[in-house]
Structure 1
């Protein structure tokens, strides 16, 4: 595992964007695995800036996203489809046909998970997968469990996740209870993995995930077994492991 320390969130975002842009430049028709949430926003902003300067071309790039809420239409501003278009897809020259997320409106979970898994295989797999890191070590919606989830699956969201999401919706009834997510096996099949982490509140889980035992109780710990993982984190997030 390669670890790059950044001074702050902005520098972390720039370093991560450098790695992603290098992948696009080296292989213009690459398959990027993308993540949502607050952490990658700065990385996407940097990629957009370089695109606008003429330094990046996304015309041949294909993307597959980690996850999507089940039951949310793409028009909902809390859907990950909406997020990706807002922060990246609508701001660069990527072909919309080449952007893929799980279909949150597919009611048949087994059918949708099989479709998404087959799609990733048909693309030849993911060249570079971007990941964030949850406070409990989750990656995607793979929460702490007794075993590592294998492939794309439908997960029941934990109560604390539902509770945390209530502020984004007009009523509690609108908050999604399930989500589709790539499984650990799907993530581990990516040729390269890039993890980005920011903030002192993540320092303890960084230590557990990357310097502790490999256990499904800390889902991200499985990344220690991958042969090409890069961790880009700011000083605060690395404060428990690098002085």
Structure 2
């Protein structure tokens, strides 16, 4: 495991974007595992900047997103599908046929999960997975529990996750209670993993995830075993390490 200590959020975002640039430069049809939320927005902004300068080409790139809320349609402004198109996809030359995000509006969630897992397998797995980390140690929407759930599945969101995500909604009651998420094994099988963390609110959980024993009670702790995992954090997030 490598730790990249960035001075601030902007430097963290730039370093992450440069890792994506390096990946696509080496393999133009790379499969990128992408994350949503506030943490990776800066990385997407730098990638758009690189694209506008002609430094990166997404025409052959495939993407799979970590998760999606259950019950939200693709065009719902709070859905992760909408987020990804607004923050990234519509600004670069990625083909819509190469974008994969779970369908949160499909009521047959079991089939959605199985089909999504098959999609990831059929396109050769994830070359570079971008992750954030929740204050309870979740990655994707894999919440703390008694066991690591390996494949794509529906999860009931923890109260702490709902509280954290309510800032994106008009009211806490509007936050979906369930989500579809890629499982721990599928994440772990990515050839490279980059975990982004920003702010002092992530310092305590990063210390636990990276230095404490590996446990499904802190899902991100499994990353200690990955052969090519890089943590990129700003000074506030990494000050306890």
Question: In which range does the TM-score fall when normalised by the shorter chain?
Answer: over 0.9
Uncovered stretches (5+) of structure 2, i.e. residues with no partner: none
Q: Does 1:82 align with 2:98?
A: no
Find the residue that maps to 1:126 and give its secondary structure.
coil
Structure 1 residues 39, 169: CA separation in 2 closer, same or farther (over 3 Å shift)? closer
| CA deviation map 1:173-230 (0-9, x unaligned) | 6431210000101100111101111111111111111111101111000001111101
Structure 1 residues 168, 38: CA separation in 2 closer, same or farther (over 3 Å shift)? closer
Structure 1 residues 60, 189: CA separation in 2 closer, same or farther (over 3 Å shift)? same
RMSD (Å) for aligned C-alpha atoms: 1.3
State the match for 1:132 in structure 2.
132
Uncovered stretches (5+) of structure 1, i.e. residues with no partner: none
Native 8 Å contact 2:134 2:161 kept in 1 = no
State the match for 1:35 in structure 2.
35
Offset, 1:172: 5.7
Worse-superposed segment, 210-219 or 169-178: 169-178
| CA deviation map 1:65-113 (0-9, x unaligned) | 0000011011111100001001110000000110000110111121111
How many aligned positions are there? Answer: 241
| CA deviation map 1:119-177 (0-9, x unaligned) | 00000000000000111110010111011111000011223333444454456664312
Structure 1 residues 203, 21: CA separation in 2 closer, same or farther (over 3 Å shift)? same
Given the two structures, how large is their TM-score scaled by the length of structure 1?
Answer: 0.96
State the match for 2:223 in structure 1.
223
Given the two structures, how large is their TM-score scaled by the length of structure 2?
Answer: 0.96
Q: How does 1:28-177 map to 2 (within 5 A)?
A: 28-166=28-166, 168-170=168-170, 174-177=174-177
Structure 1: distance between partners of 2:162 and 2:27: 39
Name segments (4+ residues, structure 1) moved above 6 Å: none
State the match for 2:209 in structure 1.
209
